[in-house]
C-alpha cells in the first residue's frame, strides 16, 4: 500500500519583475492499493440517538439502516453499538462480527425514550472502539436528531479531537431538522470524518450505505501532509490551508512541527483528499525554481506499520520576464469550491447577526460561484434561499441544513 501524491500550482509561471506573487497550490493525496493487497479489517462503532423524538418511523428506519450495515460487514470486521437518550449505554460491546443475527436482535429491541446526551454517547463509543483499534480501521457513525440538551457541546468537540488523536474517525449524521449543524460539523471536522444530512426517514438507508461505502475505501490512516517551503516562499497568514475534496474543511496548520504540517486523517483508494494552500512567492530570477517539497507521513494498519513516509514531491515554478498568465483550470475548480464554502459561511454569520440583506447577497455570490464550478445542485439551493430572504421569508431549519451541506461538498 502506497500514497499517491500530486501537486499543481494555479499558475506555474512567475513574473520576475514582481516582488511577490500569490499562488494557490492544490495537493491531491490518495491511497494506492496493490491489486492483491490486504486491507485492514473495519472497527465500526455505531453511536445512535434513541431519544423520544426518534419515536416511530425515524427509529424504525435507523434500525433498518443499521441492520443493513451489519449485513455488509466482512469476516474479521469488528462492531460495537452505543445508544443514548439523556444517558448512554453500551448495547453491543466491541466484538468481531461472528453472530450478526444476535446483534440485530439487540438493535431491534431499541425503543425511543428520554432526552439527548451526545457527549456521553461519544465517550462510550471511543472507549469501545479503543478495545479493537489494533491493526484495524476505526470509524464511528454518530447519529442524532436533536440538540445536546443533556450534554456539553465543548466536551463533544474535545472528545472528537481525542478520537482523532487516537486514530479513530468520527462521522456525524444529522437526522430530521432539529439537530445543531454547527456542533455536528465541528465534531466531524475535528474527528476527521464527514457530515451527512438525513432530511427524511426514508433516506436513512441510502445515507448509511453511502457513508459505509466511503469508509470501506479507507486503506491508510493517520496521514499528515508535511510542507517544506523554501525561505522566500510563505503561507498566507489567515486560513492558509483547507481541504476541498471530498468535503471542504478548514485545516489547522501545525506550525511547531518541523517541517510544518496538517493532519489529513484517513486516505481512501477511490477518492483523493485535495488540499488547497494559499502561498506567496518572493521575487525570482528567470528559470526553474523549487518553491516547496511535500511528503505524507501515514500509518498502514493492514501491515501494523506507523510513521511511513511517501515519496517526496517537489513543487516548481518558472520565472519569466515577459509574463503571461498560464492558469490551471483544475486548480481554479478547487479555488471556487473553497470560495463557495467561505461565502456561504459569511452568509450564515450575517443571518445570525440579523443582516438579511447581507446574507442574501452572499448566498447569491455563493450560488454564482457554484454555477462557475458546474455545481448546479448547490447553485439551486443557494439561489432559492437568497430569493426567500429577499422576499422577506424566514429560512426553515431544512433550508439552513441543506445550505451547510451543499457548501461543503458537490452532491452527486
C-alpha cell at 296: 505524507
**What is the pTM (predicted TM-score) of this model?**
0.95
pLDDT tens string 123-133: 999 999 999 99
Alpha-carbon span 404 to 250, nearest angstrom: 14
The answer to whether the CB of 30 falls within 8 A of the CB of 264 is no
Residue 344 host element (H or E):
helix 329-352
Pairing label, strands 241-245, 249-250? antiparallel
* Torsion angles phi and psi, residue 184, rounded to 5: -70, -35
pLDDT tens string 226-274: 999 999 999 999 999 999 999 999 999 999 999 999 999 999 997 899 9
Residue 76 pLDDT grade (very low, low, confident, very high; cuts 50, 70, 90): very high
Q: Give residue 35's pLDDT.
A: 65
Residue 261 host element (H or E):
strand 261-268
Q: Residue 412 pLDDT more than 90?
A: no
pLDDT tens string 55-74: 999 999 999 999 999 999 99
Q: Residue 90 pLDDT more than 70?
A: yes
Q: Residue 136 pLDDT more than 80?
A: yes
pLDDT tens string 343-382: 999 999 999 999 999 999 999 999 999 999 999 999 999 9
Alpha-carbon span 375 to 202, nearest angstrom: 25
CA torsion sign for 193, 191, 221, 66 is negative
Render the burial of 48-60: b for 16+ CB within 10 Å, e for the rest.
bbbbebbeeebbb
Question: How many CA atoms within 13 Å lie on the side-chain side of 323?
Answer: 17
Residue 37 pLDDT grade (very low, low, confident, very high; cuts 50, 70, 90): low
For 112-124, what is the mean pLDDT?
A: 96
Q: Give residue 411's pLDDT.
A: 72
Task: Name the nearest CA neighbour of 235 among 260, 213, 212.
Answer: 260
Query: Which residue reads 453511536 in cell numbers?
Result: 47
Alpha-carbon span 136 to 129, nearest angstrom: 10
List residues bridging with 276 in a β-sheet: 26, 242
Average model confidence (pLDDT) across the chain: 96
Q: Residue 38 pLDDT more than 70?
A: no
Amino acid at each position: 500500500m502506497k500514497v499517491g501524491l500530486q501537486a499543481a500550482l494555479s499558475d506555474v509561471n512567475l513574473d520576475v519583475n514582481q516582488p511577490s506573487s500569490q499562488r494557490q497550490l492544490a495537493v491531491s493525496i490518495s491511497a494506492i492499493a496493490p491489486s492483491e493487497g490486504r486491507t485492514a479489517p473495519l472497527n465500526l462503532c455505531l453511536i445512535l440517538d434513541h431519544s423520544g423524538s426518534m419515536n416511530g418511523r425515524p427509529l424504525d428506519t435507523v434500525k433498518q439502516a443499521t441492520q443493513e450495515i451489519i449485513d455488509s460487514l466482512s469476516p474479521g470486521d469488528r462492531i460495537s453499538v452505543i445508544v443514548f437518550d439523556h444517558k448512554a449505554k453500551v448495547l453491543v460491546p466491541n466484538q468481531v462480527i461472528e453472530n450478526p443475527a444476535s446483534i440485530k436482535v439487540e438493535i431491534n429491541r431499541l425503543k425511543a425514550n428520554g432526552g439527548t446526551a451526545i457527549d456521553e454517547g461519544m465517550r462510550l463509543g471511543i472507549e469501545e472502539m479503543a478495545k479493537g483499534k489494533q491493526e484495524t480501521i476505526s470509524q464511528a457513525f454518530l447519529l442524532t436528531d436533536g440538540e445536546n440538551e443533556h450534554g456539553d457541546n465543548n466536551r463533544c468537540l474535545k472528545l472528537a479531537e481525542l478520537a482523532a488523536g487516537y486514530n479513530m474517525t468520527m462521522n456525524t449524521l444529522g437526522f430530521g431538522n432539529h439537530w445543531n449543524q454547527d456542533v455536528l460539523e465541528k465534531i466531524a471536522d475535528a474527528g476527521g470524518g464527514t457530515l451527512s444530512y438525513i432530511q427524511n426517514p426514508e433516506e436513512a438507508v441510502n445515507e448509511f450505505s453511502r457513508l459505509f461505502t466511503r469508509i470501506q475505501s479507507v486503506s491508510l490512516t493517520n496521514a499528515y501532509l508535511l510542507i517544506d517551503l523554501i525561505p522566500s516562499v510563505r503561507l498566507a497568514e489567515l486560513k492558509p490551508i483547507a481541504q476541498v475534496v471530498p468535503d471542504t474543511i478548514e485545516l489547522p496548520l501545525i506550525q511547531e512541527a518541523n517541517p510544518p504540517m496538517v493532519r489529513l486523517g484517513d486516505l481512501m483508494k477511490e477518492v483523493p483528499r485535495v488540499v488547497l494552500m494559499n502561498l506567496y512567492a518572493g521575487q525570482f530570477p528567470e528559470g526553474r525554481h523549487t518553491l516547496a517539497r511535500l511528503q505524507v507521513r501515514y500509518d498502514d494498519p493492514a501491515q501494523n506499520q506507523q510513521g511511513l513516509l511517501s515519496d517526496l514531491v517537489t513543487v516548481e515554478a518558472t520565472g519569466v520576464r515577459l509574463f503571461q498568465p498560464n492558469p490551471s483550470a483544475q486548480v481554479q475548480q478547487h479555488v471556487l469550491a473553497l470560495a463557495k464554502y467561505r461565502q456561504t459561511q459569511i452568509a450564515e454569520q450575517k443571518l445570525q447577526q440579523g443582516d438579511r440583506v447581507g446574507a442574501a447577497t452572499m448566498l447569491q455570490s455563493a450560488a454564482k460561484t457554484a454555477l462557475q464550478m458546474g455545481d448546479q445542485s448547490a447553485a439551486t439551493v443557494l439561489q432559492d434561499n437568497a430569493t426567500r430572504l429577499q422576499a422577506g421569508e424566514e429560512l426553515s431549519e431544512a433550508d439552513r441544513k441543506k445550505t451547510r451541506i451543499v457548501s461543503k461538498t458537490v452532491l452527486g
